[in-house]
Copies of this chain bind each other. A is one copy, B any other.
Amino acid sequence: MENGHATTHGPAEEIAGRLALAIHEHRLAPGTKLSEDELGAIYGVSRTVVRAALQRLSHERLITLRRNRGAFVAQPTIREAREVFEARALLEPRTARSAAERATPADIARLQAHIDEEHRAMSAGHAGLALRQSGLFHQEIARIADQATVAEFIGQLVARSSLIIALYWQRRAALCESHAHHALLTALADHDGDRAEELMKGHLLDLVSSLDLRSLPSAPRSLREALGA
C-alpha cells in the first residue's frame, strides 16, 4: 500500500527503502561505500539479504555496483544530471496536467501536508528532510494522475535528483521550492490543467537553474578529476 510496488514485501525491500531514504535525505553522501558486512550487522541480516537490497538500489541508479569492489552511493555526472532533468521535463508537466484534471479534495489535502512538512523541516534546519518532502510532493502528483508506470519513473528521477542536488546545488540559489509548490497546488485545486503544466515546466527549469552544471562536482567523482589531471 505504501510503496505501490506490485508484489510482496520482504526484508530486502525494507532495507532498500531505509537506504533510499537515507540517500534521499542526504544522510548518505555520494561516493560513500556501502559494505555488505557492515550493513548486514546494522540491520541484523545476512549478506544475502543486503545484496538483494543493493541490487535493487543499483537498478534505481541510487548506488553504483562495481564488480569485486562493492557498492557506493551514486555520483551522477553533469551529463547524467542534465539527462535526468530532461527526462523530468518530458514526463512531469503533462503528468501535472492530468493530475489537475483528476485531483480530489483529499488529494489536495495530501499535497498541502507535504508542503507543510517541508516548511516545518526547513524551519527546523533539516534541509534533507525538507528535500524529501519536496520529492514526495512531486511523486504525489504523479500518483494523482493515476499513471503508476509514469509515477514510478518520476519517483526514480526524483530520487536521482536528490543526489544531483547534493553534488551540484549552488548555495547562493534559493531553492525555495515551497513557493512553486504552493502555486502548483492552487492550479491543481482549480483543475487548471494548462496552468499546472506550465507551472511544472517552469518549476523544473528553475530547479536546473539552481544547479551549477558547469563546474566540477562539489564532491568529486575521482581523485584524478579533483586534483586536475
**Docked complex: A1-24 residues within 8 A CB-CB of B:** 6-8, 10
**Docked complex: A75-127 residues within 8 A CB-CB of B:** 80, 83-84, 86-87, 90-91, 94-95
A147 & B8 in contact (Cβ 8 Å cutoff): no
Partner of A66 from the list B7, B55, B66 (CB cut-off 8 Å) is B7
Which of the candidate stretches A148-156, A165-173, A206-214 sits at the interface with the other chain? A148-156
Interface string of A177-202 (1 = CB under 8 A from B): 00000000000000000000000000
B84 & A149 in contact (Cβ 8 Å cutoff): yes
With A7-B66, A7-B67, A90-B150 known, 20 other A-B pairs at CB within 8 A are: A6-B61, A6-B64, A7-B65, A8-B66, A52-B55, A55-B55, A80-B148, A80-B149, A83-B147, A83-B148, A83-B149, A84-B149, A86-B147, A86-B150, A87-B147, A87-B153, A90-B90, A91-B91, A149-B157, A153-B153
